[in-house]
Amino acid sequence: RGGPKNLPVVEVFVDDSDSDEKRRTKNKPKLVVLGGGWGGVALLKDLNPDDYHVTVISPANYFLFTPMLPSATVGTLELRSLVEPIRRIISRVHGHFVRAKAEDIEFSDKLVEVSQLDPRGNEVRFYVPYDKLVVAVGSVTNPHGVKGLDNAFFLKDIDDARKIRNKVIHNLELACLPTMSDDERKRLLSFVISGGGPTGVEFAAELFDLLNEDLTRHFPRLLRNEISVHLIQSRSHILNTYDDAVSKYAEERFARDQVQVLTNSRVKEVQPDKIIFTQKQDDGSLVTKELPAGFCLWSTGVSQTALCQKLAQKLGNFQTNHHALETDTHLRLNGAPLGDVYAIGDCSTVQNNVADHIISFLRTLAWKRGSDPETLQLHFSDWRQVAQDVKKRFPQAVNHLKRLDKLFAEFDKDQSGTLDFGELRELLNQIDSKLTSLPATAQRAHQQGHYLARKFNKMARLSEGLTANDIRDGDLDAAVYKAFEYHHLGSLAYIGNSAVFDLGDGWSVAGGLWAVYAWRSVYFAQSVSFRTRSLMAMDWAKRGLFGRDLMS
Ligand code: FAD
Ligand code: MG
Ligand code: MG
Ligand code: MG
Ligand code: MG
């Protein structure tokens, strides 16, 4: 027992000198990873075996290939094909798996507080000790304080996908019953998606494909014009973090496919049989509307897990972002003892001080002109230069800042055509608050996990013969390895049998079969194992031959 709460301290590793494996890692530092998602798994994939005692703690015993989750909801892919047992992944590094939930971290004692349910359903708590800890617990769906979300469906985990699939099929079956009234049938066949980000858009596209391709064959009683798909988006465009051309393409595509897109609209309440939402009119007024619905998907973004909220609170002034845990550029959790705790993936963000960077850029500009920065009047052409510089240095910012030009006009309050220092300060504040967040994508979590693995490998090599205690001292991170840099490789969204690519610099849109295969091959390459790849290939082949699997 030990720690502030005097809970049992669990040594996950059995000291077994008969086993070669265990002898090899006996005196190695204990590396504990919280979460077996994109970030955690990328780390495990690239870590050298036997450099660390590896323990993964997660309530889920599988890795989930999230980009394909929308396809699984409508039976294009089998749910089983999207998951990979975490124990399989860990075995390469001879690690251990503890199926439990991290509740808290005692930074000074280096203990993770963990909870688990015993067979009687009582909660058991204990500590797992670490030398190095990686927090990669991801995020939770953001409820935005909306009423009646227990009537909505989410799309975050494999169980969610299963529930959605069963609900969609159930609605179709009910709608076929001869006793069903016309109104009730139309309601059952009205599918509403709240959230016009990639998840909502991909789900809408998959649903539309299902309704179009398989329905007439398997549910001949249903009339296509009785089915409706509605996408509710709070902004003025769907896929609004993508390039304008991409969101325009997606909107046109949906218009042609008769997916109704309701922009400038916010869901206020989800009732069992209808959605209440407000829509902003051209004159700025809000009108409340209703939409009968047989199904509602809630996919309006993510927020912090309970664990991360607790950690941020505990670390007080070191943590100022309300959406994610802040790390330094070596991905070390700000406020925790240096080099002990790292945070990666959706749960984290790297502080990059864009505002500082811009200010030093402006100082240089003022200096070149021989003027005082405080009295500098920034013209639009200067601003373009600043914007270009920011885009180059902070490529992850491009998505958030695609309207940099418009910002200038917005912050030029007196419409003088120049920004004075006060106006500029306001603008920088807004930019900084937006830019501290890296995108919540698998791509980013993967890059960060990969980065940590490389660094940890290097640390272990340099510290051969040293004990865990030696490794802890000093700023080893900066000494052995470079800072983390995010590389934006473009975003990808799937829109009904054609893929939309947004590759950062420029954009390209492709349609037809070629696009589908390009899209699939991107995910094939990202997919974690040969096992998963084969299963997906078989699913696609099966769907091609026999249509979707419509059993619940
Ligand atoms: P996750 O992958 O969510 O992993 C978190 C892990 O932590 C899980 O294993 C979870 O069980 C575990 N965990 C949670 N709480 C605790 C706790 N208290 N203690 C211990 N473990 C815990 N991104 C893209 O780049 N491209 C896409 O096409 C794409 N499509 C997506 C589609 C859908 C439907 C969804 C939901 C997401 C999609 N994403 C996509 C986003 C991507 O999945 C996330 O950005 C990514 O999963 C983040 O990785 P992570 O490791 O931070 O978190
Ligand atoms: Mg993870
Ligand atoms: Mg995951
Ligand atoms: Mg994470
Ligand atoms: Mg002005």
**Atom 4 in ligand 1: which residue has the minimum CA distance?**
37
Please check the confidence at residue 13 and state whether its pLDDT lies above 70: no
pLDDT band at 506 (very low <50, low <70, confident <90, very high): very low
3-state SS string over 162-228?
Answer: HHHHHHHHHHHHHHHCCCCCHHHHHHHCEEEEECCCHHHHHHHHHHHHHHHHCHHHHCCCCCHHHCE
CB atoms within 10 A of CB 544: 8
Please check the confidence at residue 512 and state whether its pLDDT lies above 60: no
- Residue with the bigger pLDDT between 220 and 238: it is 238
- Average pLDDT (437-463) is 87
Ligand nearest to the CA of 40: 2
pLDDT for the residue 216: 72
How far from chain centre, in Å, is Cα 536?
22
**Atom 20 in ligand 1: which residue has the minimum CA distance?**
58
For residue 139, give the ligand 1 atom closest to its CA.
3
CB 533 within 8 A of CB 539: no
Ligand nearest to the CA of 422: 5
- Average pLDDT (202-213) is 84
Please check the confidence at residue 261 and state whether its pLDDT lies above 80: yes
Please check the confidence at residue 511 and state whether its pLDDT lies above 90: no
Please check the confidence at residue 398 and state whether its pLDDT lies above 70: no
Q: What CA–CA distance (Å, rounded) separates 36 from 90?
A: 10
Q: Which of 1, 2, 6, 7 has its CA nearest to residue 124?
A: 7
C-alpha 197 – ligand 1 centre gap (Å): 16
* pLDDT tens string 86-113: 999 999 999 999 999 999 999 999 999 9
**Atom 9 in ligand 1: which residue has the minimum CA distance?**
36
Instruction: State the average pLDDT for the chain.
Output: 82
Q: What percent of the chain is modeled with pLDDT above 70? A: 77
pLDDT for the residue 289: 96
**Atom 32 in ligand 1: which residue has the minimum CA distance?**
67
* pLDDT tens string 116-131: 999 999 999 999 999 9
Ligand nearest to the CA of 60: 1
- Residue with the bigger pLDDT between 179 and 529: it is 179
For residue 114, give the ligand 1 atom closest to its CA.
19
C-alpha 378 – ligand 5 centre gap (Å): 8
Distances (CA, A) of 61 to 41, 194, 485: 12, 29, 30
Please check the confidence at residue 262 and state whether its pLDDT lies above 60: yes
- Which residue among 65, 125, 137 is best mutated to probe the pocket of ligand 1, counting the most ligand atoms within 8 A of its Cβ? 137
pLDDT for the residue 18: 61
Please check the confidence at residue 288 and state whether its pLDDT lies above 90: yes
pLDDT for the residue 456: 95
Q: Which residues surround ligand 2, an ion (CB under 5 A)?
A: 35, 37, 39-40, 136
For residue 138, give the ligand 1 atom closest to its CA.
53
Q: Which residues surround ligand 3, an ion (CB under 5 A)?
A: 37, 64
Give just the sign of the alpha carbon dihedral 128, 131, 135, 137. Answer: negative
pLDDT for the residue 507: 46
pLDDT for the residue 413: 80
- Average pLDDT (482-496) is 69
Please check the confidence at residue 188 and state whether its pLDDT lies above 50: yes
Ligand nearest to the CA of 427: 5
pLDDT for the residue 364: 76
Please check the confidence at residue 450 and state whether its pLDDT lies above 70: yes
C-alpha 386 – ligand 2 centre gap (Å): 35
Ligand nearest to the CA of 83: 3
Ligand 1 pocket (Cβ < 6 Å) reads 34-40, 57-60, 66-67, 69-70, 101-102, 136-138, 155-156, 199, 305, 307, 345-347, 440-443, 445
pLDDT band at 352 (very low <50, low <70, confident <90, very high): low
Rank 37-41, 77-81, 359-363 by mean pLDDT and report only the highest.
37-41
C-alpha 331 – ligand 3 centre gap (Å): 19
Please check the confidence at residue 498 and state whether its pLDDT lies above 70: no
Q: Which residues, at least 6 apart from 137, have a Cβ–Cβ distance to it below 8 Å?
A: 34, 35, 37, 102, 305, 307, 308, 345, 347
Q: Helix, strand, coil shares of the chain as percentages rounded to 5? A: 40, 20, 35
Q: What is the pTM of this model?
A: 0.84
**Atom 2 in ligand 1: which residue has the minimum CA distance?**
37
pLDDT for the residue 320: 80
Rank 77-81, 361-365, 374-378 by mean pLDDT and report only the highest.
77-81
